[in-house]
Amino acid sequence: MTTPSIASLEPTATARLRTLVGEVRATVGRGLPPGPTARLVAERLAPHLGAPDLLTAAQCEGDPARYRQHVLHAEPDGSFSLVSLVWLPGQATPVHDHVAWCVTGVHQGEEHERRYRLVPDGDAARLVATEDVVNARGTVAALAPPGDIHLVRNGGTETAVSLHVYGADVTRLSTSIRRVYRLPADAG
């Protein structure tokens, strides 16, 4: 399985990042179900994407071996965490879903995403591609299980950086991935 390299918890945060964390905290604190929470967090994340004062240079550093995860914030009560994922050209996730609701937003570059649906196939199951999208800078997506199966890759020629807000503490779990799918899937 391809897993991201994980940078240690970042000790410094920009003023804009602290503002974003406060906005997410207030939204998550409303105690709404996963779907509405993800949609509202997406609305809070969108205005910050692409802002030059959101991340430090260190929080945008990649890893030549695999995509890299920088933990930006983990809420002490475990209710959410915020990471930046840095993708060099050609780097990708496996086909996966998530342990909790998830919001993604492209901060720099673009990400190519293939979304899937799990369908019965005799005594087993297979994945059917439902949509291919190119997420440009500023694009946000709100995902909530079930139905959040996808593969993400940097299909461009530049480094891509995205922010991900998860409805779980990835520092405690060490990942946001619930399951990696090794089922037959549509060619991509």
Helices (H), 87-173: 170-173
pTM: predicted TM-score of the whole model, two decimal places = 0.85
**DSSP 8-state class, residue 51:** -
Q: Please tell me what DSSP assigns to residue 46.
A: G
Judge contact between 178 and 111, C-beta under 8 A. no
Does pLDDT of 110 surpass 70? yes
Prior bond of 145 cis (ω within 30°):
no
With bands split at pLDDT 50, 70 and 90, how would you rate the model's confidence at 174? low
Mean pLDDT across the chain, nearest whole number? 86
Within the chain, what is the greatest distance between any pair of CA atoms?
54
Distance CA 74, CA 86 (A): 18
User: 113 with 132: CB under 8 angstroms?
Assistant: yes
Report the CATH number of the 5-180 domain.
Answer: 2.60.120.10
- What is the band of 9 on the pLDDT scale with cuts at 50, 70, 90? very low
